[in-house]
């Protein structure tokens, strides 16, 4: 059952992260220097420094399992009696020597220790899967941040191009004496401002790519761009269908493993309240008669009181807390899923509205306004206002698209499975 759940978790989110982006953003450098999401996630899972460090905890837990299975070593003892006394017992002629070996009878405690250690291995395996999924999701977030930065660079270059065209158009009108010199100064200042914004986006993009490369342990990115399409948006399933998958959340699986650990620790605490027995056997030599005899001994502690009742109570409380935490996590995750699902729907609606309704009208308005400005029917301020409205709408479209992808990642992380196929953007 656990192995099947683990495979569902792992395969589900990996398909999510590998399949979200399908096309390349154009406009920067050649594809031979680009990296896709599939490759980025694969590198992260193979070389992420935090994952490598966490792998040593698995080795340490394996050592705990080995230690738990080790039996107490037998004890060899040698006893001399009735020697170096007085009278008949002077010297060693009347001595009795005993050579014996003793064993500790743990009465099932060792098996309970092994069970507890093995339950810890299962819990650590879930923790490993969770860290791998978290690392993959974090890589996807930085990947989308890089992809967003590239798209912002495209928008910034378009803004610079529009500002340059504006300067040329205003220059012609000023030369013809149809516009004041102040309009040209404003247009030139706006061009400088757009170039400054482009430079800022470029610096931010460099930092974002370095953060992405750090996911697989590189301090110097070996790529110059990421390939993907922000307009390849998910086609969501119904919320009720997603809600049924909350149980596949790896965090919920962690609680299941934690319950096994708590149950094993409770059984161990109950086993330890029975004191261990001590059994010994050996050979005794009686020097006075030159004879030998077998001796045996068993020591049984008197359990007048339960000296482990405190640990039993603690283990019972820990198990109850884990069950309560699991219920709280389910409620929290279901609520968070609903909130993020609503936000994702809103982001998708914003994308559709800006892409299909707002931007086409503003592009047409910009064309008409420019023509009217050149004919002297509109002022520079009216032309510049339409330009800014178009640039703002394109930025809003980009923000909504990035937000939709980020919300999809969060939903996929909550459910542990892929929720949507990306659609091809027009």
Distance CA 130, CA 108 (A): 34
Q: Does residue 384 sit in helix, strand or coil?
A: helix
Taking the C-alpha atoms of residue 88 and residue 235, their distance in angstroms, rounded to an integer, is: 102
- Which homologous superfamily does the CATH classification assign to the domain defined by 2-71+106-273+308-415? Outer membrane efflux proteins (OEP) (1.20.1600.10)
User: What confidence score (pLDDT) does residue 117 get?
Assistant: 76
| In the chain, where the domains are located | 2-71+106-273+308-415, 73-105+275-307
More confident residue, 234 or 100: 100
Indicate if the pLDDT at residue 1 is higher than 60: no
Angle (CA) 210 230 383, round 5°: 105
Least trusted range by pLDDT, from 54-63, 127-136, 159-168, 382-391: 54-63
pLDDT digits (tens, 9 = 90+) for 341-379: 999 999 999 999 999 999 999 999 999 988 888 888 888
- Would you say residue 213 has pLDDT above 90? yes
Per-residue confidence (pLDDT) for residue 15, from 0 to 100: 35
- What three-state secondary structure class fits 263? helix
Asked if pLDDT for residue 248 goes beyond 90, the answer is: no
pLDDT value of residue 89: 67
The pLDDT value recorded for residue 236 is 77
Could you give the C-alpha distances from 267 to 32, 40, 106, 301, 425, in angstroms and in order? 59, 45, 14, 21, 58
Banded model confidence at residue 418, pLDDT cuts 50, 70, 90: low
* pLDDT band for position 215 (cuts 50, 70, 90): very high
Cβ pair 319, 312 in contact under 8 A: no
Give strand ranges (E) for 177-239.
Answer: 225-226
Among positive and negative, which fits the CA dihedral 336, 341, 412, 35? negative
DSSP string for 6-55: HHHHHHHHHHHHHHS--SPPPSSS-GGGEE-HHHHHHHHHHH-HHHHHHH
Element (H, E) at 127: helix 109-175
- 416 contact partners, CB below 8 Å, separation of at least 6: 8, 9, 12, 13, 133, 245, 248, 249, 250
Q: Which of the two residues, 315 and 338, has the higher pLDDT score? A: 338
Who's near 173: CB < 8 A, 6+ residues apart? 179, 183, 374
- Stretch 130-159: mean pLDDT, rounded? 89
The phi, psi pair for 70, rounded to 5°, reads -80, 130
| Res. 424: pLDDT tops 60 | no
Instruction: Provide the pairing of β-strand 225-226 with 34-35.
Output: parallel
Tell me, what's the pLDDT at 306? 65
Q: Which residue has the tokens 């708590």?
A: 262
pLDDT at 82 exceeding the cut of 80? no
**Predicted pLDDT of residue 4:** 38
Model pLDDT, residue 305: 67
Strands 291-299 and 277-286: antiparallel
pLDDT of residue 202: 93
CB-CB contact of 29 with 227 (8 Å) = no
Mean pLDDT of the chain: 79
**pLDDT score of 14:** 37
pLDDT, one tens digit per residue, over 324-337 is: 888 888 888 889 88
Query: What is the greatest pairwise CA distance in the chain?
Result: 141
pLDDT at residue 368, rounded to an integer? 92
Average pLDDT score over residue span 393-404: 92
Q: Rounded to an integer, what distance in angstroms lies between the CA atom of residue 192 and that of residue 146?
A: 25
Token couple for 141: 């977030």
120-123 contact pairs (CB < 8 A, 24+)? 120/61, 120/64, 120/65, 120/261, 121/58, 121/61, 121/62, 121/65, 122/2, 122/257, 122/260, 122/261, 123/254, 123/257, 123/258, 123/260, 123/261
Task: For residue 233, give Cα distances in angstroms to 23, 228, 230, 337.
Answer: 11, 11, 7, 18
What number is the average pLDDT over the span 298-313?
Answer: 73
Read off the pLDDT of residues 253-288 as tens digits, 9 standing for 90 and up.
Answer: 777 777 777 776 776 777 777 777 777 888 888 777
Residue-wise pLDDT tens digits, 187-203 = 899 999 999 999 999 99
pLDDT at residue 252 tops 60: yes
pLDDT in tens, 31-70: 558 898 888 988 998 889 888 887 787 778 777 777 777 7
């Amino acid at each position: 059952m656990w192995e099947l759940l683990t495979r569902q978790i792992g395969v589900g989110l990996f398909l999510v992260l590998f399949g979200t982006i399908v096309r390349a953003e154009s406009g920067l450098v050649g594809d031979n220097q680009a990296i896709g999401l599939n490759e980025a996630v694969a590198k992260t899972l193979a070389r992420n420094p935090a994952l490598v460090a966490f792998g040593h905890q698995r080795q340490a837990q394996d050592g705990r399992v080995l230690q738990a299975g080790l039996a107490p070593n037998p004890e060899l003892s040698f006893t001399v009696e009735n020697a170096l006394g007085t009278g008949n017992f002077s010297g060693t002629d009347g001595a009795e020597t005993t050579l014996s070996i003793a064993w500790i009878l743990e009465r099932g405690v060792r098996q309970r220790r092994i069970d507890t250690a093995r339950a810890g291995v299962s819990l650590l395996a879930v923790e490993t899967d969770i860290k791998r999924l978290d690392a993959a999701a974090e890589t996807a977030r930085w990947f989308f941040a890089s992809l967003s930065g590239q798209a912002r660079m495209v928008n910034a270059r378009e803004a610079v191009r529009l500002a340059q065209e504006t300067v040329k158009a205003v220059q012609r009108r000023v030369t013809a004496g149809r516009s004041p010199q102040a309009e040209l100064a404003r247009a030139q200042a706006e061009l400088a401002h757009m170039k400054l914004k482009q430079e800022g986006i470029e610096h931010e993009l460099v930092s974002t790519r370095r953060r992405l490369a750090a996911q697989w342990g590189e301090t110097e990115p070996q790529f110059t761009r990421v390939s993907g399409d922000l307009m390849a948006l998910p086609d969501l399933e119904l919320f009720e269908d997603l809600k049924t998958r909350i149980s596949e959340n790896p965090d919920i699986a962690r609680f299941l493993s934690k319950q096994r650990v708590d149950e094993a620790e409770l059984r161990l605490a109950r086993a330890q309240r029975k004191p261990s027995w001590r059994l010994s056997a050996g050979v005794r030599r009686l020097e006075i008669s030159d004879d030998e005899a077998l001796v045996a001994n068993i020591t049984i502690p008197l359990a007048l009181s339960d000296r482990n009742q405190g640990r039993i109570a603690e283990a019972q409380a820990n198990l109850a807390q884990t069950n309560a935490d699991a219920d709280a996590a389910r409620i929290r995750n279901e609520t968070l899923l609903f909130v993020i699902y609503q936000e994702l729907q809103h982001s998708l609606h914003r994308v559709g509205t800006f892409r299909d309704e707002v931007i086409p009208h503003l592009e047409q308005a910009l064309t008409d306004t420019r023509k009217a400005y050149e004919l002297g029917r509109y002022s520079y301020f009216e032309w510049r206002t339409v330009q800014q409205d178009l640039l703002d709408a394109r930025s809003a479209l980009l923000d909504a698209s990035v937000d939709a992808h980020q919300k999809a990642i969060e939903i996929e992380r909550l459910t542990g499975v892929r929720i949507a196929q990306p659609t091809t953007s027009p």
